Amino acid sequence: MSAVPESHKRQYRIIYELLWSKDPRIYVKDIASVLHVDPRTASRRIREAFELGYIVGPQIRKRSYANMTEYIYFTNCKNPLEAYKRYSKDENVLYHAVMAGFANLWVVSRKEIEVEGDIVLEGLRSDYYVSHAPDHSWETAKQVMQRKVEEFNLEEYTSTGFIKNQWNKTIEWDIEFEKLYREFKYNLRKSLTPIMKKHLISGQKIYEFLDNLFECCTIATCYFPEGISLYDPYLFLFETDYPDFVIELFSELPTSPFFFQCSDKLFLRSYVERQFLRCEDLQIANIGQLYIPLLIYDLLKKGIIKSEEHAIIEYSWSKDL
């Protein structure tokens, strides 16, 4: 595959910013106006950004209302591949992944289920929180994050409530909303007319769903400066009394982070350049390139986190449910 021109990458970044800050369903003509290109070229750039993995989304995920709860399980089982194949056919399982690390199987279900293996952690999922990906390099991110850790004062910490749960509330959610959710879950920019015809849902009902979207769902638009395939997918588990600071800290990474809480633990799904987390035949002289383990060591030493574990996601499956 030929190299992507830097000018195209800058346009991908602008498209991401428009989807993030303006409207995830912003018209192509409006994107074209900002890019100073014709709509046909803008449409091509948008398609490239999605197909090459520079932008993932906009997608939506349900908030954690009592009538839309999801259950998370992390287990260690003897044969994760066999379990993976079985859960692929389970209509209650929304997402599952095989991992290498603190657990070898991650399952997200819309009902409480019996899971295979020894349970490492389980519980209700909070709302998701997806940070804006800053437009800076990994090296700049390292410097900013290190400075934030050095300057953090435990006594001055105040919670800003990035992550919430709605477990004690319900929200209006009918069969038509459920159908629309499944249609838009992995692509909020879908055309409305085919959905109206497929499900015999009125345009008024669709606009009602879209108008209430922020209240009932998290909108996730993610950015990856060199394309998602360049990075390794990790899931970090933090035990901390300072979750909002940890979220602010890891939100400095150039790739979009995905946060949630379960069983009083903070989770971060992040896509990371390999050199910052693992490397073979690393000599003492250049151990500093293992930036994230060293940063976590500083967080532990300063008492910002009580413990940390992580796993690399080897393969996963998300259903249209």
Report the C-alpha gap between 218 and 64 in whole angstroms: 10
Closest CA to 236 of 228, 248, 246: 246
**Cβ burial, residue 206 (10 Å; 0-12/13-18/19+):** buried
* Residue 245 shares a structural domain with residue 292: yes
Largest CA distance in the chain: 65
Please give the model's pTM, rounded to 2 decimal places.
0.91
Report the C-alpha gap between 277 and 294 in whole angstroms: 9
* Residue 274 shares a structural domain with residue 147: yes
What is the distance of C-alpha 275 from the center of its chain?
21
Residue 247 lies in a domain: yes
pLDDT digits 0-9 by tens, 254-291: 999 999 999 999 999 999 887 766 555 545 444 445 68
The number of folded domains in the chain is: 3
- Domain of residue 112: give its range: 70-124
Residue 177 lies in a domain: no
Report the C-alpha gap between 197 and 246 in whole angstroms: 45
* Residue 246 shares a structural domain with residue 303: yes
Q: Enter the tokens of residue 185.
A: 């879950």
pLDDT values of the chain reduced to their tens digit, one per residue, 321 residues: 568 899 999 999 999 999 998 899 999 999 999 999 999 999 999 999 999 999 998 999 999 999 999 999 999 999 999 999 999 999 999 999 999 999 999 999 999 999 989 999 999 999 999 999 999 999 899 999 999 999 999 888 988 889 999 999 999 999 999 999 999 999 999 999 999 999 999 999 999 999 999 999 999 999 999 999 999 999 999 999 999 999 999 999 999 999 999 999 999 999 988 776 655 554 544 444 568 888 999 999 999 999 999 999 999 998 887
Mean pLDDT of the chain: 92
